[in-house]
Structures are given as C-alpha cells and as structure tokens.
A and B are shown apart, each in its own frame.
Chain A
C-alpha cells in the first residue's frame, strides 16, 4: 500500500489551539507522527528579561489561559522564596481555594471539549454551564474572568467576599457531576471510542516526563500537592487509576473534580471563621532578588509546572525558565499514536489535555 503524508492541523478544530501533527499513514494506520509546535510562541521567557518582576506578573496568567492562577502562584511563590516573605494562613487558604476552583474549571472545560471531539454536543454545554458559575465568581472577586492577576507578591489583591457563591458552586457540582457520569462514563459509544485506546504504560509515561492526571491514570501515585507547603493542613487523596487508556484519563479527571471540591470545602470552612487579612506586601518599584538561582514547582491541572529564575541582583531576572506540562504531552504523541488508527488520533490527543499556549510559551 502506498504511504500517505497527512497534516493534521494547525487549524484543525480538535487540536485545541494551533498544533500541527505530520502523520505518515498506511491506509488508516499511523506509521509515524511528528508534532510541529511553535505557532503560538510569544517569547514569554525573553520578555521577562526586560520587564521588572511586578510588570511581568500580569503576563504569566497568559501562559495557560485555562489555569492562570497556577502560574501566578508559581511566580509569586518563587519571588517570595527569594525575598523570604511569609504569607499568612488566610492568604494561603484563599490561594488554595482559588487554585482548586481553577482546577475544577479547567477539568470541566476539558470534559466538554473532549466529548465534543468525540462527537457528543450536549456535555459540552453542560460543562460550560457549570464552568460559567466559577468564572462569574472569579470575575466578581478578581475583576476578570480568565486573566485574573489576583495574586501579588506576599498576598492577594483584595480580601475574599461572597463565600455563599462558592457554596452554591459546590452544591451545583455535587448535583451535576453524577449527571455527567450517567451520561458519559458507561455510555457504550464512549466506551468503544476510549477503552483500550491510547495505552500509556507507566514506564513510558515516566520516561517521557509525563506528570499530573495522565501519569496518575497510568497507575503511578505522584501528586506534587502532597509535598506542597501551600496545601499543608488540607486533607485529600490523589486519584490513582490503573486503566492506562483514554477512558481512565477521563475518569481520573472526573474524580479529581470531586476531590478538588473537597479541598475547596475545607478552605471555605477555614475562611468563614477567619477574620482580617494580614499581608506582607512590598514596594513594587524596588524588587531585586538576591544573587542566586531559585526554583519552585506546583501541581497544575495538566501536571507539574515549575519556574526557575537566575538573578544577578538586578531589577530584572538574568534568565527565567518555565517548565510546562503540556510540552511533554505533545512530545508523547510521537510514541502513543504509532500503530493506532487515524480515527482514534483525535481521541487520544484530546485525552492528554494539551493546551497549546502552554506548550509554546
């Protein structure tokens, strides 16, 4: 049979951004896959070298527009570490609550988009309806729906309010998530399209630096929240499934929504009792990190995100480097698409939860 070269993307609606996959086909079987990234490159790392830390902080939300809080927190955390700033317990609780709400919103969007890729339209609207509640709350507190810019060095921009809204969100999620499960999880069509497709073995995942839900759905218990100081005092169990296929990656994300809402509930209980907000804000015009190298990491919705800053006691960093989880997931497509059929390529690529702005930075 003759071989065929096929470009999947960069404007294909199912690649969630501008990802180009160069596939080599024999019939409908994929022989090789070459991901081509860089269509959304904005020079996030180079930009940091000419902006001061305060100027750079609002931009980091744009690295991953679905989980902006995580990158904000990462930037704040690294600078706080370098300047020895302590954040109070209330700030910590606010941050945990916002991060987990953001994680829920991100996973909800993924569920909707993934099901859309497979051809089901209704779950897309249901997932967006619940996500809308969370975004409305973000808009109320932070001022914008996605580029929140809520965290600042040493604290948050303003005290939290309207905690009843969060209670509402949690109550709705508790009611609606079983609805998704009824609609999707055991649906025979969905099972046929995802069960046994895109098998990602534990060893392969570890060798390709896959972290987060994708790794945990392959049966390896690694959750960076467990060793995170920010989450100290919050009780939760990382979701670990043994399935290794696209279906178990879906299931793990649904279970993680429930787990995250438990963390939000704990933070909420704490915030209701707590009084005034103590912050250790610093002069924005004079932030200079002492000479040295700083590194910190966080468990973002898509896996381990980390930030490295090298400073030479200037107002701008000498070098700044982001480690973003989706970059490794795109690279993994090279391995797991080989031997699969073209029809499943979208389902498998979708199940890894790839966000392109985060890949290209």
Chain B
C-alpha cells in the first residue's frame, strides 16, 4: 500500500518536472526542421553530366532514364537511397535539401533535366 503511494508520487514528480521544460517538438508547418549538407532530398542534375549511365545502372528502382538530350528522374519510383550520387564520377547528380515533394499533379513528379544539348552536338 505505502509502496504504491510512494511510487505514484515519485512518478507524478518526474512527470510534473517536465511541465516546466521547453517542448522538444516543432510546430511543423510554421517551423521547419533544418536539414544539413548531406540530407538526401530531391535529386538535382547539373551540367557536369557526361551521360555515362552509371547512375542508371546502380539505381535499384529504375527511376533514372537517359536519352539523346534529356535526363529524366521519376520521383514516383525514386527511393532516395543516394546510390546515384555516391557512384557518380563527375559529381553531376546531387541530392538537394528539398524534402516536401508531395504534389497533386503526376507530371510534376517527373524531373526532366536538359544536359549537353546543342553545344555538345556542335563539337
């Protein structure tokens, strides 16, 4: 009996102590979690790309498609594993810090990057 009362009071004490502490959670839509340099968000391709196709071959879900003059990443298939970034020999593909990628249009989830293009053809 006394033991139960003792433990109830002790637990109450620990719980009430937390009333006077600052909250550890964030009020999400207003305040956002800061992400750091290596965060794996939306993949971005820059002009270093030489279309060697390594990223296409290490991608586990087949999200990357490369043709004549465009580089397509299907965000519906991408699992954000970072294989393409890690194995890229030219640092041409990077994972950016953007993480709120939900969209109501299917087309906007297909990223198309123009690379090489006319300049390359002239050479």
Contact = CB atoms under 8 A, between A and B. Distances in A.
A43 B4 CA distance: 50
A179 B14 contact: yes
A109 to B, nearest CB: 16
B38 A158 contact: yes
B77 interface: no
B83 A58 contact: yes
Interface in A272-324: 284-285
From B11, B35, B54, residue with most partner A Cβ within 10 Å: B11
Which of under 10, 10 to 19, 20 to 34, or 35 or more describes the interface residues of B?
20 to 34
Interface string A38-68: 0000000000000110111111000000000
B101 interface: no
Contacts of A59: 60, 79
From A51, A55, A59, residue with most partner B Cβ within 10 Å: A55
B2 to A, nearest CB: 10
B58 A55 contact: yes
A143 interface: yes
A152 B81 CA distance: 12
Contacts of A227: none
Interface string A177-218: 001001100111100000000000000000000000000000
Interface string B16-44: 00100000100000000001101110000
Nearest to B40: A143
A56 B60 contact: yes
A3 interface: no
Contact of A188 (B3, B24, B59, B82): B3
Contacts of B24: 129, 132
A78 interface: no
A147 interface: yes
B15 A140 contact: no
Contacts of B86: 152, 157
B80 A144 contact: yes
Contact of A186 (B7, B36, B60): B7
A142 B35 CA distance: 12
A12 B7 CA distance: 31
Nearest to B6: A188
Interface in A51-108: 51-52, 54-59
B10 interface: yes
A166 to B, nearest CB: 16
Contacts of B54: 284-285
B6 to A, nearest CB: 9
A139 B15 contact: no
A142 B14 CA distance: 34
Interface string B30-74: 000001101110000000000000100111100000000000000
Nearest to B4: A188
A157 B70 CA distance: 28
A141 interface: yes
Contacts of B39: 139, 143-144
Contacts of A122: 11, 14-15, 18
Contacts of A183: 10-11, 14
Given A139-B35, A139-B36, A55 B11 contact: no
B7 A58 contact: no
A32 interface: no
A149 interface: yes
A142 B38 contact: yes
B81 A58 contact: yes
A143 B3 contact: no
Given A52-B58, A59-B79, 12 more contacts: A52-B57, A55-B59, A56-B60, A57-B83, A59-B60, A129-B24, A132-B24, A140-B36, A143-B95, A147-B81, A183-B14, A188-B3
25 contacts: A52-B57, A52-B58, A54-B58, A55-B59, A56-B60, A58-B60, A58-B79, A58-B82, A58-B83, A59-B79, A141-B38, A143-B82, A144-B40, A144-B80, A149-B82, A149-B83, A157-B82, A157-B86, A158-B38, A179-B14, A182-B14, A183-B14, A187-B11, A188-B4, A284-B58
Interface of A: 51-52, 54-59, 122, 129, 132, 139-144, 147, 149, 152, 157-158, 179, 182-183, 186-189, 284-285
Interface of B: 3-4, 7, 10-11, 14-15, 18, 24, 35-36, 38-40, 54, 57-60, 79-83, 86-87, 95
